[in-house]
Structure formats: structure tokens, C-alpha cells
A and B are shown apart, each in its own frame.
Chain A
Amino acid sequence: MISGLRLPLLMACGLVAGLHAQEKPIAIKGALVIPIAGEPIAHGVLVVQAGKIIAVGPAASTPIPAGAEVLDATGKVVMPGLVDSHSHIGGGTGGDGSSALHADARVLDAIDARDPSIQKAQAGGITTANVMPGSGHLISGQTLYLKLRDGRTIDDLLIPLPDGSPAGGLKMANGTNSIKAAPFPGTRAKSAALVRDLYIKAQEYREKIRRAGGDAEKIPARDLALEELVEVLEGRRIVQHHTHRHDDILTVLRLAREFGFKVVLHHVSEGWKVPTEIAAAGAAASVIMIDSPGGKLEARDLDWRTPAVLEQAGVLVGFHTDDSVTDSRLFLRSAALGVRAGMTRKGALAALTLANARMLGLDQRIGSLQAGKDADFIILSGDPLSVYTHVEQTWIEGKKVFDRAVAQDRLYAVGGPGAGDPRRAHLCCFTSAQDLITAANQGESL
């Protein structure tokens, strides 16, 4: 099959071309555009150029620039690329068993940028993901906010901050996941005490640096863990906090208040028990929607009504996949289940996009279709909340990274022989294993 052989080569070329900013505007017309910021626009027009959105609006008032490449998406739905506020794609890890506290561990140093889970997330319409180390530690390490561009290395996926460092948060956890044999805490109170102790150290470290006033003799020795916590204390790094039980949620809020850090509550299985407390604290909640309660003690009282209850209480609500706990390819489903249990449609769609962007501190760049924002969008075959709808295309910064009409992309969308392998251009052999697999999926023989 000739096309099967050519495909990886074409992709390799696309990758090189992708390094150059896209100059020619692209206009998507005819679709129902759900900008999230504002009401849905029937027969809307979205214009992107050089990686940014330059216009979005009704066809009548949104001219398509001369020379633009026009994509007719009549009958389709266009919405912002999905933002997953909690994922484990790329297989990254954080701290190890030597301590319960690893503020210096960086998931950056552990992610496989060629892991097929990243392609699968693209197939689910996810364009930005907060990729975290696990929840087995009080502090398991620094997270990364990744753009799921087609990349060769992790560097290709980073979002650089003005100081050049990659955007990310700090992963913390409480409850039973981080309670285990020493050196881990054995109880909830000990868990909080260890965290409190470390944050006080960070406060003192910051104070020593301040007092040194730039005097090299007086500046304390560098401590990478405390440096990260100082970023947290100063609000430059958001705490992304795993927590299930209502009393554990309250402990997170107490610590956040005590040290003044910005926090997003993750999972929040028992959030429905303490909505007013979460709202009063001004904390955001990123909720996981799974098919059944239980599986662990803390998730016994998990309830699909949590996002609705929190939304009604005025809490900023998002969803996350926790991939592979739920599959990135089915992220839209989380919002639909939220609506099933009483959430508003508008709130549920924002919980996949703009709300999550706010939880990552990236809402100036992503999360809605607005002029000036990154050209991250998806094209759907229909209503985003319907099981029968497929993600047809995923675009990041004006470049298409997933197209269901392309055989290999489709393989990552639906699975099948070869979907467990990373995307790769073959370097050897007359016929690569990948070609055989692709052919098998297409019901063809080479």
C-alpha cells in the first residue's frame, strides 16, 4: 500500500514545516461556533493567522481576509481546544519512595514526548494539559502545562514563561494516597504537620534572602525545593492539590489560607458536602467524572452531582481526565455527565476549556475563541455533549495536529493494532512494523 509507506515521510516533512510560523490566514466557516466567551454563533467564522485567532463572529460581520485558505465546516461544531487540568499522559513521574516531599522533582525530566498517550489526547480534542506526577506523595513535584503540539522532544511542548522557565504548577496530595510506611506520614494530622513545617521553612528561606539584600555573603545556600515553594508563596506557581474527602478538602483550604497560596482542588469526590466552604475560600475545583463511586475508601461518596452543586455555590469548576483513570479521548464525556447530574450546559463546556485555563493561570492565552488568543480549536461532528459526536480535527496554534480522516491519526482515536506504539517514521527495513499494522487496521495487505 503506497500511501501507507508515504505517510510517515509526509508527517516528518510536516514537522519541519511546522517550525515556521503560519503566515497565510485560515478561515473556518459555516460551523456552529461555541466561543465559550459569549453565546454560540450559528454559521460563525473563525479566522486564524500566525498561530493566533484574529477574528471570530457571525458570518455577516466577520469578513474572511483575501487570500485566506477557507475550510468549509458547515454542519460541524467549532469550539476551543480542550484544556485538561490534570493528566498523566507521557508517563512522567515525580518523587520516589525516599521522602514524602519532593518539591524539587520535575515531571519535565521524566516525560516521554513520543508516548502514544499524547497522540490519543490530541484525538480527544485536548490541546493543553497539566501533566502531573502522581498522588502518592504530599508533594510529588513540579507539573507542566503542555501544549500538545506534534513534537520530537519535551521542549517542543512547553509553554515558556517570560523568564524562560516552563509553565507549570506544584502537585500536592493529602488523604490516604500519601499515608504509608515511614518516611511517609502515618496519619492525616502528621501529613498536614509535615507540609506546614516545610512551608514555614520556605517562608524563612524567603525572609533570609530578603534580609541579605543582595549580599552574596548572607544569601542562604540554594535549595531547589524551597525555591519552588517560594514561587508558590508568591503566587507565581499554583498548587494543584489532589484531595477527595470533605475533611481533607478543608485541610487544603486551611493550609492555603495559612500560607496564602493559590490552590486548585483536584478530584474533590466529596466536594458536594462542603460547597460553601470551597466557595468562601475562593478555591477552584477540578472534578473527575468516573463511572462508579469507590475503588478506594475516599471515593466511596463520590457523586456525579458534585460539579452541579459546586457550580451553584459559585465555585470555579473544571473537569479533568486524570488519564489513564479516564481516557483523554473521552474528555467531552465528563462535561456531558456533569450536565446529566444537573450542571448547566454553559458551565460544563467552560469546565472543559476556559475554567481549566484559569486554573492553570493561562486564560489570557487559551480557553476561549477570542481574537488575540492562541489558535487552539477543535472541529466536532456535532453536539459536544452527544455520545455520537466525534472529534474530527484538533488544531494548536493554527496547525492541525489531529485529523480523523488521516488513517494513522484515526488509529490513535479509535485504537487497534499499533495504537500502543508511538508515532514514528521508520528508519529501517523495506516494510516497517508500523506499515503492517496500519494496513491491518485498514483491512489491507501490503
Chain B
Amino acid sequence: MNVSLSFRAVALHTMFGFVASFATVRAADEPVMPLAIHGETVYTMSGAPLKDGLILVRDGKIRHVGPATGMVYAADHRVIRAKVVTPGFIDAHSTVGLSGILNQPHDQDQSDKSGSFQPELRALDAFNARDPLIAHLRSLGVTTVNTGHAPSALVSGQTMIVKTHGRGADQDVINPAAMTTVALGRNGLTAAEGASGQGQPSTKAPGTRAKAVAMLRAELIKAQEYGRKRENKDETKRPARDLKYDTLLRAFDGSQPLLVNAHRQQDILSALRIAKEFGVKLVLDGCADAPLVLAEIKASGFPVILHPTMARSNQDAENLSIETAAKLKAAGIPFALQSGFESYVPKIRVVLFEAAIAAANGLGFDSALASITIDAARLLGIASRTGSIEAGKDADLALFDGDPFEYTSHATGTVIDGVLFAGTPR
């Protein structure tokens, strides 16, 4: 009796589990209803905001955007109304999907501790599209993230650019190999006790700043030599494929820049020195001390993915400022905002909230919104698809009942690739 009951329970559980996952798959495969979105204010980010604007969405793309007055559209559209509509937000650097909500060893894939130089680690092979934190970001209007390995080793891996649709890495990916993650300063010093929040050293080196840069320099030289030998006309003389150097080589041609986490001004300058020496393309990351070296950053031409505005000001980042975004803007340095990496609570930051603080501290509404939409899209090289509300672009939108930056406004819906996510306003 007991045995058969428990057997039945297992069978039922299995069936429900199956039905549930089947239903999810079906929903994703179902044809998506076209949307007609009326926004009292539409921030298109490709011109002045529209009052009483209309966005028509079909087959995942924006088909039309303009004033609603006089516009007629087919009856098959689902009509949505919102006080404010913006492009879906882009988080220019995160670890979401790798650094899971529970913060237990089984859901933490953002840092492999076995080595200090692992550029071959791809984000795509670790990304959990169904982590609840992805749904959390999505519910607050974040539709795209550049996510991957944390700034927790000299070279910790790669990032990918992915939508927060929540289906799977392969379905939702925009760029599977966006950047290679490098950390100078304390975050990269995995041989130093207490570095990057680790109690004990996890690698033999680097333990100092000079050693870290020396190691990076040595690896870049190896990559150059590898690249030269791989071009040998005699195939038999080419070295065996090496994923580490294949990855690094893409920083030389610029197709996959190094995302260099550096907070202290000397670390920022080291990164720029290395870039000049080897001709590699960089994106600067973090940059708490950026106000001290604005001229050098500007001269390098490299963009900055600034630390979260509300990041904790400690260790290398003890001098960060909530006004740095405004200073980068004033200096004409291209930048975007990020949620960054958090080893504890809050496990993920929300780039919308980071932009809100920047907006209120010198950056202003328009530039702050740009820093998580069109400017972030340009920085990540995805502006042809996302970042603004324009006909032909992906239908990625965020809907609000007021100023999106106001604490007390609510996110009322998010559209990704034309699919509406809505429920209790958040």
C-alpha cells in the first residue's frame, strides 16, 4: 500500500514536471501576437521623445514608431498602454546567469579557481537562462546583458551578449564571444591573501600588481608568436590549436576586446600601457579612479563600462563617486553602466537603478537613459539591433507608469523580441 502510493506520487510528480516544461516550450513556440503599444511619452533614443506615441510590433521587430494620432493598424494587434516607454535596458557588464541567486557552490560558475589565465572559458557554456535573477532583471525592464566570467582572476574567461528572454543560451544569444575578462588590481591578484574576497590564495601567481602585468605581457607575447606561426604557409609547421591564444588573438584584431577591470588609477594606466605596447583593443571596466586619469582615458579612445553607481566603496574602489558618470560624459569619453559582480547580497544590481542615481547626480535624465540604452548598445556593438526604438530593430521595450528613474515608479511590462512579459507592476 505504502509502496504503491509512493510510486503513484512519483509518477504524478514526473508527469506534472513534464507537463510544466512542455507548456513552457509550447509557449515559446507559439506565434506571438503583434503588439500596438501606446505610450504617453516614448523615449525612442533616436530623436526627441514622442508625446502620445505608437509603436507597432510584429514578428519580434519594431515595424513602426511615430505619433499615434491618425494611425490606423490591423485589428489583430494586442493593444498595450503605458505612461512611459523606453528601449529595453542594456546592462553592459554583469555576471547574471553564471552567478546564480542562491550563492551556493552549485550555482556559482563565474569564477574557476584552478588558474589565473583562462581566456578559453566561454560564458555560453555556463549561462543559466532560467536563473530567477534573470527574470528579476527582465521584470525591471532589462532586456539585454553582457554577461560572463567575473573580474576574479588575471584572465577569468569571456563574456557573451544575451537577451533576458529566459529560454536558453543558444536561443537568446546575440554575441557568444563578446569580450575577454581581465582583472588588474586586487581583483586579479589571486595569489594574494584576501584578494577579491578570497581568504586563502587560490593560485600561485599573481600576487602583486607588477607580477600581474608581467604575466599578462608574457601571455600577449605568446599570443603574437602563436598567431604568427599559425599563419605559416606550410600547414605542417603550424602549432596545434590553442583556445587560450585563439581567444587572445581576437583582442589584436579588435573583434573581441579585453574587458579590463581596473579601479585604481595605476591599474587603469597599466591597462593603457599594455594596450599601447601590443595594439590590443580594450574596454575599461570599473574605473573608480577614472576622475584622476580622465585625460589619459580620453586619449586612448577606449570606452569605459563604469562601476555600478551604488557599488560599495571599499578596497580598490574606496574612492568611487556617484558623479563619475557625469565626469566621463563631460570629458567626451564613451561609457555605459553596469550591474557588475556581487559576491554577496544584493546578488545582482539593477542597471536601471544605477542609472537613476547617475541621473540625479550630475548626469541628467537623457544621458543616464542613453547610458543603459543606445550608448550601451553602441559600446557593445549591437546598436543595429537594440538600444533605440526604431523601425526594423528588435522589439525590446520597457514600460513604466512614471519616470523610470523615480524610486516610486513601477515597471508595468517588458517586451523582448516582440514577446510581452507583464504581471503585477514592479
Residues of A within 8 A of B410 (CB): 340
In the complex, the answer to whether B102 meets A291 with C-beta atoms within 8 Å is: no
The answer, yes or no, to whether B218 is at the interface (CB within 8 Å) is: no
The answer, yes or no, to whether B2 is at the interface (CB within 8 Å) is: no
In the complex, the answer to whether A291 meets B346 with C-beta atoms within 8 Å is: yes
Checking A291, A333, A416 against B323 with a beta-carbon cut-off of 8 angstroms, the contacting residue is: A416
In the complex, the answer to whether A324 meets B407 with C-beta atoms within 8 Å is: no
Of listed A292, A385, A420, residue having the most chain B CB within 10 A: A292
Chain A, interface size category, equals 35 or more
Residues of B100-116 at the interface with A, using a CB-CB cut-off of 8 Å, are 100-104
Residues of A within 8 A of B319 (CB): 415-420
The answer, yes or no, to whether A53 is at the interface (CB within 8 Å) is: no
Closest Cβ of chain A to B352, distance in Å, is 10
In the complex, the answer to whether A415 meets B313 with C-beta atoms within 8 Å is: yes
Residues of A within 8 A of B132 (CB): 293-294, 300
- Give complex CA distance A387, B132 in Å: 27
Residues of B within 8 A of A330 (CB): 310, 357
The answer, yes or no, to whether A265 is at the interface (CB within 8 Å) is: no
Residues of B338-378 at the interface with A, using a CB-CB cut-off of 8 Å, are 342, 344-350, 353, 356-357, 359-361
Known: A415-B320, A419-B321. A295 touches B342 (CB 8 A): yes
- Give complex CA distance A299, B410 in Å: 22
The answer, yes or no, to whether B228 is at the interface (CB within 8 Å) is: no
In the complex, the answer to whether A294 meets B360 with C-beta atoms within 8 Å is: no
The answer, yes or no, to whether A281 is at the interface (CB within 8 Å) is: no
Checking B310, B318, B345, B357 against A420 with a beta-carbon cut-off of 8 angstroms, the contacting residue is: B318
Residues of A within 8 A of B133 (CB): 292-294
In the complex, the answer to whether B321 meets A387 with C-beta atoms within 8 Å is: no
In the complex, the answer to whether A295 meets B103 with C-beta atoms within 8 Å is: yes
In the complex, the answer to whether A300 meets B310 with C-beta atoms within 8 Å is: no
Of listed B313, B320, B344, B426, residue having the most chain A CB within 10 A: B313
Residues of A within 8 A of B361 (CB): 414
The answer, yes or no, to whether A337 is at the interface (CB within 8 Å) is: yes
In the complex, the answer to whether B405 meets A387 with C-beta atoms within 8 Å is: yes
Residue ID in chain B nearest A337 by CB atoms: B407
The answer, yes or no, to whether B292 is at the interface (CB within 8 Å) is: yes
Known: A325-B345, A419-B321. A294 touches B407 (CB 8 A): no
Contact bitstring A389-409, B, C-beta under 8 A = 1, else 0: 110000000000000000000
Residues of A within 8 A of B171 (CB): none
The answer, yes or no, to whether A336 is at the interface (CB within 8 Å) is: yes
Residues of B within 8 A of A415 (CB): 313, 319-323
In the complex, the answer to whether B101 meets A300 with C-beta atoms within 8 Å is: yes
In the complex, the answer to whether A440 meets B407 with C-beta atoms within 8 Å is: no
In the complex, the answer to whether B348 meets A386 with C-beta atoms within 8 Å is: no
In the complex, the answer to whether A327 meets B312 with C-beta atoms within 8 Å is: yes
In the complex, the answer to whether A417 meets B291 with C-beta atoms within 8 Å is: yes
- Give complex CA distance A327, B321 in Å: 13
Known: A416-B323, A417-B292, A420-B318. A296 touches B310 (CB 8 A): no
In the complex, the answer to whether A333 meets B101 with C-beta atoms within 8 Å is: no
The answer, yes or no, to whether A202 is at the interface (CB within 8 Å) is: no
The answer, yes or no, to whether B14 is at the interface (CB within 8 Å) is: no
The answer, yes or no, to whether A290 is at the interface (CB within 8 Å) is: yes
Residues of B within 8 A of A430 (CB): none
Residue ID in chain B nearest A419 by CB atoms: B319
Known: A324-B312, A327-B310, A387-B359. A292 touches B344 (CB 8 A): no
Closest Cβ of chain A to B146, distance in Å, is 18
Known: A292-B136, A415-B322, A416-B319. A440 touches B408 (CB 8 A): no
The answer, yes or no, to whether A339 is at the interface (CB within 8 Å) is: yes
Residues of A203-232 at the interface with B, using a CB-CB cut-off of 8 Å, are none
Closest Cβ of chain A to B257, distance in Å, is 27
Closest Cβ of chain A to B47, distance in Å, is 25
In the complex, the answer to whether A417 meets B289 with C-beta atoms within 8 Å is: yes
Residues of B within 8 A of A200 (CB): none
Known: A333-B407, A337-B407, A414-B323. A293 touches B314 (CB 8 A): no
Residues of A within 8 A of B125 (CB): none
Residue ID in chain B nearest A296 by CB atoms: B103
A-B contact pairs, 10 of them (CB 8 A): A291-B350, A292-B136, A294-B100, A336-B407, A340-B410, A385-B407, A385-B408, A416-B291, A416-B324, A418-B319
What would 17 more interface pairs be, CB under 8 Å, given A295-B347, A420-B314, A440-B291?
Answer: A293-B132, A293-B136, A294-B348, A295-B344, A299-B345, A325-B344, A325-B346, A327-B310, A333-B407, A386-B406, A388-B360, A415-B321, A416-B291, A416-B324, A419-B313, A419-B319, A420-B318
Q: Which 5 A/B pairs are nearest by Cβ-Cβ distance?
A: A420-B318, A336-B407, A294-B101, A295-B345, A415-B321
